[in-house]
Amino acid sequence: MITNRESKVGGFALGVICIAIPLVGGMISARIAGDQMQSFGQLNQPPLSPPGWLFPIAWTILYILMGIALLLILRSHHEYKVGAVALFISQLLMNFYWSPVFFVEQDYTKALVILALMWTTTVILTIVTRKVDKRAAWLLVPYICWMTFAAYLNAGVGILNR
């Protein structure tokens, strides 16, 4: 029989894993993009472009929020849980793929398409997640807002650096 303490330890471990998945994936994606990310500041930037130091801070916060949302989804017993997890994984894979396409390949059009698909998938995920756990859905809203801003930056860099 599982004791309350064992359940808490298992819940803590699941929480760590859920937060680590987006964080570690993001670090790997950033590592692949490598030095190309630093040359981003040398590109022509659209108005409202934030300073380069803001991006890793913003993404770290967003990945933590995403991990907590995943934990809340996994703890749910709702019938849409499996669909929400599948959507979460789909958008996360697109997220990890975006950086190498944008920074290494410098294919701004392809990156914008990936970002649009990722945004759409995340909006659908948020709608489905709202039925599973409203708190998890709200944790995804800052991510959608950031992706919207990222699409503006992606498009602007693409237009200004043809």
pTM of the model: 0.91
Q: Given the structure tokens 């907590």, which residue do they identify?
A: 68
Sign of CA dihedral 127, 92, 26, 133: positive
Distance of alpha carbon 113 from alpha carbon 111, whole angstroms:
5
pLDDT single digits (tens) 48-76: 999 989 999 999 999 999 999 999 999 99
How much is the pLDDT for 7? 60
How much is the pLDDT for 3? 53
| Domain interval for residue 86 | 4-160
pLDDT single digits (tens) 93-151: 999 999 999 999 999 999 999 999 999 999 999 999 999 999 999 999 999 999 999 99
How much is the pLDDT for 4? 58
Tokens of 116: 């649009």
- Is the separation of the CB atoms in 25 and 70 below 8 Å? no
CATH number of residue 109's parent domain: 1.20.1260.100
pLDDT band, very low/low/confident/very high, at 34 (cuts 50, 70, 90): confident
Q: Would the pLDDT of 6 be above 50?
A: no
How much is the pLDDT for 41? 81
How much is the pLDDT for 149? 98
Distance of alpha carbon 21 from alpha carbon 41, whole angstroms:
28
Number of domains in the chain: 1
Sign of CA dihedral 28, 145, 114, 54: negative
As a dihedral over the C-alpha atoms of residue 81, residue 86, residue 89, residue 91, rounded to 10 degrees, the angle is: -110
